Amino acid sequence: MSRRQQYRRRRGFRENPELDITTFLNLMVVLVPFLLISAVFSRVTILELSVPTGAGGSGTLKPNFTIEVVVRKAGLELSNGAQVVAALPKVDEQYDFDKLSQMLIRLKDDYPQKDDATVLMEPDIEYDTLIQVMDRVREVEVPAEEGAEVQKLQLFPLISIGDAP
């Protein structure tokens, strides 16, 4: 007899006990549906933005009118790229988005072929403010006649964002 066999006889060969995972599987069967039911599913919307470029050159000589909405801590500014056209100070510590919408509607009436605008932000402006400004620049709800649904007027859907000067 070999030493291994003698050792097994003296010590009594014990097999490793099987791992019982029944209770763990029972826990998973209950836990997975509970987590799926209690999970909050949020809808994520992705908005494609374009980054303004300084390169390139086209052969057109027509004046390039740009629409810039500058978000500052003191309020909103509407600019044509060279100078500030309108300044909308905060009212009761809130940005005046309704007046911004009215001015953008007038600009859309003056330049119906214009589809792009730029939103420029100062540092330390809340992200929610950026989203609200972008929503107002992209489209605005126009109240309809009585009994009719509210219509959405598309203003400037091509939005570029950047840092305010």
Instruction: Give the residue, 7 or 155, on which the prediction is more confident.
Output: 155
Per the structure, the complete domain to which residue 124 belongs is given by 68-163
Q: Give the pLDDT confidence score for residue 27 in this predicted structure.
A: 92
Residue 105 lies in a domain: yes
Identify residue 18 by its one-letter amino acid code.
E
Q: Give the pLDDT confidence score for residue 44 in this predicted structure.
A: 63
| pLDDT tens readout for residues 87-108 | 888 888 899 888 988 888 888 8
Task: Round to whole Å and give the CA distance between 10 and 8.
Answer: 6
With 60 as the cut, is the pLDDT of residue 127 above it? yes
Residue 34 lies in a domain: no
26-30, 41-45, 58-62, 138-142: which range is least confident on average? 58-62
Residue 40 lies in a domain: no
With 70 as the cut, is the pLDDT of residue 114 above it? yes
Instruction: Give the residue, 89 or 59, on which the prediction is more confident.
Output: 89
Residue 48 lies in a domain: no
Torsion from C-alpha of 116, 72, 51, 57, nearest 10 degrees: 70
A 10 A CB-CB count for 51 gives 7
Residues 6 or more apart in contact with residue 162 via CB below 8 angstroms: 51, 52, 118, 119, 120, 121
Residue 16 lies in a domain: no
Number of domains in the chain: 1
Residue 37 lies in a domain: no
Rounded percentage of the chain residues whose pLDDT exceeds 70: 75
Residue 31 lies in a domain: no
Q: Is the dihedral of CA 67, 72, 77, 82 positive or negative?
A: negative
Q: Give the pLDDT confidence score for residue 11 in this predicted structure.
A: 59
Rounded to the nearest integer, the mean pLDDT of the chain is 80
With 90 as the cut, is the pLDDT of residue 140 above it? no
Instruction: Give the residue, 18 or 43, on which the prediction is more confident.
Output: 18
Residues 6 or more apart in contact with residue 64 via CB below 8 angstroms: 81
Residue 61 lies in a domain: no
Compute the average pLDDT of residues 26-34: 91
